[in-house]
Structure 1
Amino acid sequence: MGEQETQIHSEVKKFSHEDLKDITNYFLRTVGRGGFGTVYHGYLENQTEVPVKVCSLESTQANKQFLAEVRSLSMVHHRNLVKLVGYCKDGVNLAVVYEYLPRGSLFDHLRGKDSSSALNWRMRFNIVLEAAQALDYLHTGCGMLHRDVKSSNILLGQNFEAKVSDLGLARMFSADVNSIITLSGTPGYIDPEYQLTFTLNEKSDVYSFGVILIEVVTGERPILTGRENIHIIKLVKQKLAQGSIEDVVDSRFEGEYDMNAVWKFVELAVMCTRDEAANRPTMADVVMHLKDCLQIEEHRQKGKLEPSEKSDTNTSSISTPQSVSVSFAPDSR
């Protein structure tokens, strides 16, 4: 066993390719595909469900990086990050095995295969707050980037708790010259500054997360197709410039939200998706701002505010770091 493998956390199990055949019943059931390869459904010996992501890495450089990434993932622990169960490096066969999240992805519940059971505003809010806390942990606690933040990489547990997945895969595949991925990330979520410089930093993850915030409040895909493709960010900014928030909010909320909280939420999304990385907030700022929004929403739901207090809340500005000052709010709320 090589030095890198001896440094992988002991709780992370090494599987052989034959083990994966047993776990997946010879790769019988496909549950997903991506630039990294194919995801199969499987069961461990104790009947625990797991997704098995079989990596289609072809370059020597990416193959060598695989164990380094697995080692990094084995050291990362947060309640809102998908847990790495094990890995396979058996000759040319590479795979990662994760914990299973039964509710699928945030993408599925926004307008994908589970759109018939769309999440309400409060559920979506809780999910993005939990995901933001996971990314903040990566940035400030681990000094790591995710590199492919998107709604399909936010998975949901039985009680709709959020867990961020696929950490590290984007870096492996950006190193694979034969991969179909040419940039780390997914179209619609890629930092425009990164597309010019090919240099990733924490603010690249922030940009991608901002796109998710806009997805959550609108229920729309990042890139709207029609007579001409338009990014949802551009469309939202156009509507905000007209002072209209109702035209932005997903109609499936049926008015069940606090208008002030939604304005703050959308303003945060706009800040995260600024073209210049230096003008975006940090993930720590994002978490703080989301918690401020949550307080407003909780007051609405619990009905704790008296009429005079409601007036104060609707006309006052939530305390926000100067680095994340907002500019799209209407004159009065």
Structure 2
Amino acid sequence: MPSVRPLDTGKSLSSSCSCSNKIYVAVHERRLDELRSGNASLLSILTTPVGMEYMANFTACSKCQESGGRCGSSPCLDEFVCYCPDGPWSLACSQSGAGLAALLLGIVMFLIFLVIWESKKRKTHKISFLWNRKAIGDHNIATFLESYGFLSPTRYTYANIRKMTNSYKDKLGEGGYGSVYKGKLNDGRVVAVKKLKFSKGDDGRDFINEVLSISRTNHVNVVTLLGFCFEGNNRALVFEFLPNGSLEKFMHGREVGESLQWKTMFDIVVGIAKGLDYLHRGCNTRILHFDIKPHNILLDEEFRPKISDFGLARLCPQKNSIISMSEARGTIGYIAPEILSRYYGNVSHKSDVYSYGMMLLDLVCGRQIDNNESQDNSEMYFPEWIYNRLERVEDVSIHGVMNVDNNKEFERKMIIVSLWCIQSYPANRPSMNRVVEMLEGSLESLQMPPKPNHSSPTTFVFGSSPMITTRDNFC
């Protein structure tokens, strides 16, 4: 006969089996008495329904549910129990566990924020200052420019630009980018206003490049940007006025009566080199110009040179000298070979050195750099022709320079430096800092460079376009 014992809320049967298993079943007390007296079988008792009542503490249950638990009771004691994720509690789930979870979640979110912020900071420091490559609205570009605070120059309205130029009355020059007009600020200062042409699909990237590149500079040999205008399709840059125009007009005898003294020409050459050295090393961010040529060198009233036109410039961290480009950019005849073919090496600040060397050769030797010139006439490659004459100590006259002193030392020094700068491989070219040292040092200290290679990019044929630009990857 199985043993039985009563429970608190009804009765329970315990049946001992051969396998030593125990099963507890709630039964009605009256039916248990019938079993004892032999008036009922065990099976009938087990199949008789038993009514159960659960007496819950509804106040405690509400608190339990509010804390994230589920209401219940202890299997051993007649007490309320709140079942929580971290185990059963007497009234409600522990708030210390929730607080710890919230704290850990907060720490994780803060670390994610720091990673995102640092990533954005690095991208901002690289340039770009350079923003999303997709076309963005006028308002966003203006906001982007103004976000740089004191680094951003004054912003003018289009009405301001029209007023300062007297409705574009005095035109100073014109190029593929647009036109330059003479203007005057409210304080009486004379300025040059560069009004840019707008073309369909222009997302403002070159405009932002120029504004942010020049606004980060402060050097006697780099043009000063005073302000800008970005209003719909109207874009303009306001520069300091440089009365002597570009260096180009003093070359090749293009202007009657426009001649320079030897010392003046040499100072111009040194000044350009110092300006480029500043762009490469003097700023927190390295600036690569990519369009060094006589047209982009302006002269003030004392013939001090100032590098201008930063529309193709690239900005990169100082530690990053090598950059990535998908296509060539620059002006034909001044483009470094590595920009056209990676066979020569990586694109870097040495690409500006090459352009400087070609400009110097053009300036010194009085012959325009033209890819279509002489190549089909069986003439010798121009730098090699200069090199051979230099070896034979023959005269290489400078056009547009008053050679009253007959000072051949200046001439020879400038030619040697230029030939060093146009070496085909970037690693063989000097830095702009070294160029300054070579120009300011003695002629005797200069070594003859290797003979220029026939595979120079000036022998390549590009077609009729004088300038090559790109939509490339940012560094």
TM-score by length of 2: 0.55
Deviation at residue 57 of structure 1 after TM alignment: 4.4
Count of residues in Structure 1 that have an aligned counterpart in Structure 2: 291
Instruction: Supply the RMSD in Å over aligned alpha carbons.
Output: 3.0
Which region of structure 1 is more displaced relative to structure 2, 91-100 or 38-47?
38-47
Deviation at residue 219 of structure 1 after TM alignment: 2.4
CA distance in 1, matches of 2:380, 2:172: 30
CA distance in 1, matches of 2:337, 2:156: 39
Equivalent residue in structure 2 for 1:51, among 184, 188, 192: 192
Deviations along 1:8-27, one digit per CA (max 9) or x if unpaired, are 53682111111111111222
Query: Structure 1 counterpart of 2:222, which letter?
Result: L
Matches within 5 A, 1:34-73: 34-58=175-199, 62-64=203-205, 66-67=207-208, 69-73=210-214
Unpaired stretches in structure 1, ≥5 consecutive residues: 173-181, 297-316, 329-333
Matches within 5 A, 1:228-307: 234-242=381-389, 243-250=391-398, 252-254=401-403, 256-293=405-442
Deviation at residue 109 of structure 1 after TM alignment: 1.2
Give the SS at the match of 1:96.
Answer: strand
Matches within 5 A, 1:97-176: 97-111=238-252, 113-142=254-283, 143-167=286-310, 169-171=311-313
> Paired residue for 1:217?
364
Matches within 5 A, 1:65-84: 66-67=207-208, 69-84=210-225
Deviations along 1:198-249, one digit per CA (max 9) or x if unpaired, are 974211111110012112222222228766578x993242243243444322
Q: Report if the CA contact (8 A) 2:287-2:313 is conserved.
A: no
Deviation at residue 69 of structure 1 after TM alignment: 4.1
Query: Structure 1 counterpart of 2:216, which letter?
Result: M
CA distance in 2, matches of 1:86, 1:166: 14
Q: Which has the larger radius of gyration?
A: 2
CA distance in 2, matches of 1:59, 1:141: 36
More strand by share: 2
Q: Report if the CA contact (8 A) 1:267-1:327 is conserved.
A: no
Give the SS at the match of 2:251.
Answer: helix
Deviation at residue 132 of structure 1 after TM alignment: 0.6
> Paired residue for 2:232?
91
CA distance in 1, matches of 2:346, 2:162: 39
CA distance in 2, matches of 1:233, 1:123: 31
Q: Are residues 74 and 245 of structure 1, via their aligned partners in 2, closer, same or farther at CA, if it must alter by over 3 Å?
A: same
Q: Are residues 121 and 75 of structure 1, via their aligned partners in 2, closer, same or farther at CA, if it must alter by over 3 Å?
A: same
CA distance in 2, matches of 1:163, 1:64: 23
Matched, 1:191 2:323: no
Percent identity over paired residues = 31
Q: Are residues 236 and 200 of structure 1, via their aligned partners in 2, closer, same or farther at CA, if it must alter by over 3 Å?
A: closer
Q: Are residues 278 and 38 of structure 1, via their aligned partners in 2, closer, same or farther at CA, if it must alter by over 3 Å?
A: same
Q: Report if the CA contact (8 A) 1:214-1:233 is conserved.
A: no
Query: Structure 2 counterpart of 1:39, which letter?
Result: V
Deviations along 1:135-155, one digit per CA (max 9) or x if unpaired, are 000001221111110111111
CA distance in 1, matches of 2:238, 2:346: 29
CA distance in 2, matches of 1:225, 1:256: 35
> Paired residue for 1:309?
none
Deviation at residue 117 of structure 1 after TM alignment: 2.0
More helix by share: 1
